[in-house]
Amino acid sequence: MGKVSVIQFKTRRRTAGIKFFSMLCIFMFCFMGFVSSPWANEKKKFSPSCPDQNTLGTAARIALFEAQKKMGEERYAEAKKVLEKFLADHPNQNHPYIGITLGSLYLRANALTKARIMFEQCIDSCSEFSAAWQNLGKVCYDLKEYKKAAQAFDKVYEMEEKPMFLYHGAVSWMAANRKELAFEKSLFLTQGKAGPPKKEWVELMVHLAMELKRSKEAVPILENLLAQPEPPAYLLKLATVVYLEQNSYRKAAQALSAYSMLEELKIREMQLLADLLHSQGIPLKAAVWYEKVYRAKPNLKNCLRLASCLHEGYAGKKALDFVEKGILSYPDSYKLWRIKAWICYGEKNFKESSHCFSKVAKLNKKDTKSLFMSGVAAYRAGEKERAKKVLKLVADKKKYTSQAKSLIRQIDYEIMEERREIENS
């Protein structure tokens, strides 16, 4: 049961896009702030040919100052009108500082096409204007021009060497369906070459690794990060997903077990951990989690899972008590009756076992084995006549003909011997 459930989990994860470990934070750059003076730290970025603040004309300075003042008062629409009027009156004075400010105001107003035009004009005037490239990347992404967005963020990374822009570029390349390129960038980020990897970088790398069927490459990166002192819990969750993809169920169970010590598991995660432990032949540990699942979501399926694990783990009385409670809730479940039958058989309570196997056969007419076992258990309980009666019902079933007839002959012989002993006494 455990391994099948693990495989089912993997199938669900593929179709749902990894829901077991939460949504990827792949649009973080959408929340980049735009300061009122976006050129404040740009002077050192300009090449000698780029216009700087000293090249602003008097009228441009006045318009820019007035617009900044209104922006500081959160009167953005009015600030936009100030700069639009200035450009209308001075079409040849579209200084990069005017353009970047007006572009940011257009972006705030969701006038994306106008914003893009402003940022592109800024870049035409100054190809090293980092803030203009950043905003161009942002607006192109919002316009779903993902390739242009990716190229813009890559340009910013070349200029500033800040890994956040490499990450934004990777996200944009992924959106542009250039996933291999995005994956290579995410590998660079998560290997520590750009500093300590951030959560969103690792999540993006794992997401792409799964999509591209390159999960094997994610394993050493995750294991290296997990080897660090006090690794964050999310790494264990991601490792679980990657190990599952690699069919490394033992490692997946270990990772998810470790995660459970740091974070409370959701029902689906409890179910997965129980399935993994069960598939590894650790039924009693699996039963601990199946019990939590059953308490949170009591139904026949979860009841059967817990009952099976308790039985497989030779839990004895606890297994029997739980199964009997389960039968009270689900009296027509032949599977529960069958588990009880085997528990009783193992405890040498053959009379009760025979009764339970008989109940299984009545609930499930196709279960010939349980009918046969009812006869076997009756025989071992000393109810030989009843055993013969039951065994004759399965003697014509091809799979059990030989066994049933052999046991009937044995019973007949024992009955005959018992009669002789009585007669001789």
Tokens of 10: 């993997």
pLDDT value at position 316?
A: 85
pLDDT at 279: 94
pLDDT-based confidence at residue 10 (cuts at 50, 70, 90): low
> Average of pLDDT values for 146-164?
96
For 358-383, how does the pLDDT look when each residue is reduced to its tens digit (9 = 90+)?
A: 999 999 999 999 999 999 999 999 99
The model carries a pTM of: 0.80
pLDDT at 26: 27
Token pair of 265, please? 């598991």
Q: Considering Cα of 279, then 284, then 285, then 287, what sign does the dihedral take?
A: positive
d(CA 222, CA 240): 10
Percent of the chain with pLDDT over 70: 88
d(CA 232, CA 349): 51
Strand (E) or helix (H) holding 42: none
- Give the three-state DSSP class for 365: coil
Task: Read off the pLDDT band of 58 (50, 70, 90).
Answer: confident
DSSP per-residue string spanning 157-186:
HHHH--HHHHHHHHHHHHHTT-HHHHHHHH
- Here the tokens at position 273 are 């951990």
Rounded distance, CA 202 to CA 176, Å?
20
pLDDT band at 94 (very low <50, low <70, confident <90, very high): confident
Asked if residues 137 and 120 have their Cβ atoms less than 8 Å apart, the reply is no
φ/ψ region of 229 (left if φ > 0, alpha if ψ in -120 to 50, else beta) reads beta
Backbone phi and psi for residue 300, each to the nearest 5 degrees, phi listed first: -60, -40
The architecture that CATH gives domain 322-425 is Alpha Horseshoe (1.25)
Task: Please state the domain extents for the chain.
Answer: 322-425
